[in-house]
Amino acid sequence: MKFTVSSSALLSLLATTGKVISNKNTLPILDYFLLELQGSDLKVTTSDLETTLVGSIKVDAVDSEGTIAAPAKLMLDSLKEFPEMPLSIEVNDKNWEIKISWKSGSLSIPGASAVSYPAVPQLSSEKKELDMDVDTLVAGINKTIFATADDELRPVMNGIFISLTPGALTFVGTDAHKLVKYESEMKNEVSASFILPKKPANLLKSVLLKEDDAIEVAFDSKNAQFKLKSHTLVCRLIEGNYPNYNAVIPDNNPNKVLVDRIELLNGIKRVAVCSNPTTNLIRMDISNNKIALTAQDIDFSVSANETISCSYEGQEISIGFKSTFLVEILSNMETPTVMVELADSTRAGVFKPVYDEKQTNSSLMLLMPMMINA
């Protein structure tokens, strides 16, 4: 195996695919990149047994084809030190030594046989296939991933629930305290759903930023495959039944607050400094087009309050929320104004972005209240 390649192109490919490699691999071979050269295509595969990412680039001056497992850390550490220049890479088929040469020097690192590298999982013949818009997929992941849980007892909540119905694509993330639902209009004949784990969702997010074409998505009951221009991601899905999220979204919340998002967010951050570090409780008293924010920690005799103007329709209400969750929810909206819909102090508050024009997508965020001492 011998070829020439641009140092920065190879580093970029290895850095992207290398994000799959886990710090706690059960198989030593998983600490390696699988390099396969066929014609002028160099294919790089990484896996942690749950998630596999395959990327490819074109290389020059191919003398011979071949396959090798290259140590990930050594390859990345070596390539980081090069400016943009052509590198000649040669592999000794007998002792698996990898020799990297450039115009003023060379280095050699030990590779390994690729025989024991796990194969890329194949989807069953009953798989479902569709094309997905890049922007919709990125937006869906971005808006919901922060609300997913880290719960070993309920693994279904550790991923993003993706539901396909004719005409709509829905993304949901929840940890039982907060819930985010993002829905986008989409022409689609498939009716199905799956739960995408957090790690491949984050990987997709970073790889998709370089894409502009539609993504080919295929999935069966166990795995999902995302085909991009120069990468393919295959991951094991979370198995199980996702909770009925529509059942917890209140239908009619009579009390409606229109408020400047940044003003409310900054007010919460200022007042939250004095909240109890265990509960992070912040109290909101809403009436007469004003939101009074208060927080206190009796143990340390600290308290804070701030009043913010809003537009309010409804009964006078007092409700408590965890300030860290409020900050997360408001930070993950992009509109200047938000609508907060409330029923009473014991039922979930619904947060919706307010747009000037009609949108082809909709999002809502739901937050469970906390008990407040009257």
Q: pLDDT tens, 121-173?
A: 999 999 999 999 899 999 999 999 999 999 888 999 999 999 999 889 999 99
196-224 average pLDDT score: 91
Banded model confidence at residue 374, pLDDT cuts 50, 70, 90: low
- Separation of alpha carbons 122 and 223, rounded Å: 8
224-239 average pLDDT score: 95
Q: What angle do CA 224, 50, 197 make, to 5 degrees?
A: 60
Domain residue ranges of the chain, discontinuous segments joined by +: 2-110, 128-242, 249-367
Which class would CATH give 128-242? alpha beta
Question: For the segment 98-124, what is each residue's pLDDT rounded down to a tens digit?
Answer: 999 999 999 999 999 999 999 999 999
CATH topology of 2-110 equal to that of 128-242?
yes
357-367 average pLDDT score: 91
DSSP codes joined into one string, 268-305: HHHHHTTS-TTT-EEEEEEETTEEEEEEEEGGGTEEEE
CATH for the stretch 249-367: 3.10.150.10
**Mean pLDDT of the residues in the chain:** 94
The fold adopted by the segment(s) 2-110 is DNA Polymerase III; Chain A, domain 2 (3.10.150)
**Helix H or strand E encompassing 96:** none
Residue 310, pLDDT above cutoff 80: yes
Q: What is the pLDDT of residue 291?
A: 97
- Separation of alpha carbons 127 and 220, rounded Å: 4
Q: What is the pLDDT of residue 369?
A: 95
Question: For the segment 64-94, what is each residue's pLDDT rounded down to a tens digit?
Answer: 999 999 999 999 999 999 999 999 999 998 9
Q: What is the pLDDT of residue 363?
A: 93
CB burial of residue 288 (10 Å; 0-12, 13-18, 19+): exposed
Q: What is the pLDDT of residue 364?
A: 94
Cα–Cα distances in angstroms (integers) from residue 351 to residues 95, 146, 326, 364, in the given order: 61, 15, 10, 6
